Amino acid sequence: MIEARDFLDAARAQGIDFFTGVPCSFLTPLMNAVITDPATRYVGATSEGEAVAIAAGGWLAGRETAVMFQNSGLGNAVNPLTSLNYPFEIPTLVITTWRGEPGIKDEPQHEMMGRITQDLLDLVGARRFDFPTEREQVAPALAAAVAHMRGAGGLSAFVQPKGAIASGLLEEAAREVAPRVAVRDFGSPGAPAPRRFDLLEALQPLVPESAGVIATTGHTGRELFTLADLPRNLYCVGSMGGASAIGLGAALNSSREIVVLDGDGAALMKLGNMATIGAEAPGNLTHLLLDNGLHLSTGGQATVSANVDFAAVASACGYRFAARANGLDGAREAVAEALGVPGPRLVHVRVSAEPVEGLGRPTVKPRDVARRFREHLADGA
């Protein structure tokens, strides 16, 4: 058994000082130590996949990161680990518990995952390291894990068994509840919904050149690339629903403005991201939700967005600015006003599903997109 402080000190000595995750009883000592430590940043996520995306955003903003969760949540993390971390070669340290370890009595829902945890980590490309059980093993284990992350640009993983870390106290400040802002409406309700491509073109001059722009997967990223391929752009090629969480991780670790171009289907898939954004309240995050009511890039199947008031959801989650915008003029006005006040800010715009002829695809490899984006955020920081 080791002390949580031993592990945390060794992680920080290797530069890992940004943690995010979802609790597990096996993780309690380590998670409590991370939360209590004033020199370490922790963000509690609503899902394991969200935590992976938040950590990716933190790395893009220059931090070394770790994600922590129960192995039952490893299934939730598989998508971003394989479609975000893998193509972009974004390193992170995965610390997952070993519920359902063979030979140790546990609840029935952990039995299957307990048998396949190590195999699943292997399948997603993580390099596994033995969890240290003695104090003298901790520093070498963390050094080896981080060396792999930096050398291969990939995932390192520890599987933490039951009782591996001694219990400790939790000192966590009560979180203040943000006042709920009134949702504002911009533009004429009868204004025609613009094409998303035309809207992106109209909004480009409003976004500061120094900002980081994160586009959700599918046509949104392709349209942004077609308009102008810039180092400030991050085109999510997978990890559907993760763009706003990536934006949160980046905004919390950068002084630059971060603008997320989200879609209705993606936002609905990870609606819990909005609760975390509202709670963490980065003042430099703008969340633009471009809603065509469809999963357009997969054949035009309808989403349920017509039944959802995203601006009201944002207000209820603690965003500091929430607006509905109609038409190009309404969108311009709403975004210009949003960027002039502290965030997080959400602007919901209905867009048409009219296709864009000759729509391109990003020609820059995801690895290079991620690294030039990271350099862009670091320039002048």
Residues 191, 331, single domain; the answer is: yes
Q: Tell me, yes or no, whether 194 and 324 share the same domain.
A: yes
| Same domain, residue pair 114 and 256 | no
Digitized pLDDT (tens) for each residue of the chain, 381 residues in all:
899 999 999 999 999 999 999 999 999 999 999 999 999 999 999 999 999 999 999 999 999 999 999 999 999 999 999 999 999 999 999 999 999 999 999 999 999 999 999 999 999 999 999 999 999 999 999 999 999 999 877 899 999 999 999 887 777 777 888 889 999 999 998 899 999 999 999 999 999 999 999 999 999 999 999 999 999 999 999 899 999 999 999 999 999 999 999 999 999 999 999 999 999 999 999 999 999 998 877 777 889 999 999 999 999 999 999 999 999 999 999 999 999 999 999 999 999 998 888 888 999 999 999 999 999 999 855
Domain with residue 97: its CATH number is: 3.40.50.970
Q: State whether 122 and 195 are in the same domain.
A: no
> Does residue 230 lie within any of the structural domains?
yes
3-state SS, one letter per residue, for 78-141: HHHHHHHHHHHCCCEEEEEECCCCCCCCCCHHHHHHHHHHHHHHHHCCCEEECCCCCHHHHHHH
Domain shared by 149 and 263, yes or no: no
What residues contact 57, with CB distance under 8 A and at least 6 apart? Answer: 214, 245, 246, 247, 248, 249, 250, 251, 252, 253
134 domain-assigned: yes
Based on the domain organization, do 229 and 358 belong to the same domain?
yes
96, 212: one domain: no
Look up the domain containing 318 and give its range: 184-378
Specify if 179 maps to a domain. no
Report the number of distinct structural domains present in the chain: 2
Is the residue at 168 inside a domain?
no
Q: What's this model's pTM, rounded to 2 decimal places? A: 0.96
Give a yes or no: residue 240 inside a domain: yes
Same domain, 225 and 113: no
- Residue 295: inside a domain, yes or no? yes
- Identity of the residue numbered 309: D
Q: Is residue 308 part of a domain?
A: yes
Q: For residue 380, what pLDDT is reported?
A: 55
Q: Are residues 220 and 154 in the same domain?
A: no
311, part of any domain = yes
Shared domain check, 293 and 150: no
- For every residue of the chain, which 3-state class applies, written as one string? CECHHHHHHHHHHCCEEEEEECCCHHHHHHHHHHHHCCCCEEEECCCHHHHHHHHHHHHHCCCEEEEEECHHHHHHHHHHHHHHHHHHCCCEEEEEECCCCCCCCCCHHHHHHHHHHHHHHHHCCCEEECCCCCHHHHHHHHHHHHHHHHHHCCEEEEEECCCCECCCCCCCCCCCCCCCCCCEEECCCCCCCCEHHHHHHHHHHHCCCCCEEEECCCHHHHHHHHHCCCCCEEECCCCCCCHHHHHHHHHHCCCCCEEEEEEHHHHHHCCHHHHHHHHHCCCCEEEEEEECCEEHHHCCEECCHHHCCHHHHHHHHCCCEEEEECHHHHHHHHHHHHCCCCCCEEEEEECECCCCCCCCCCCCCHHHHHHHHHHHHHCCC
Same domain, 152 and 191: no
Same domain for 193 and 82: no
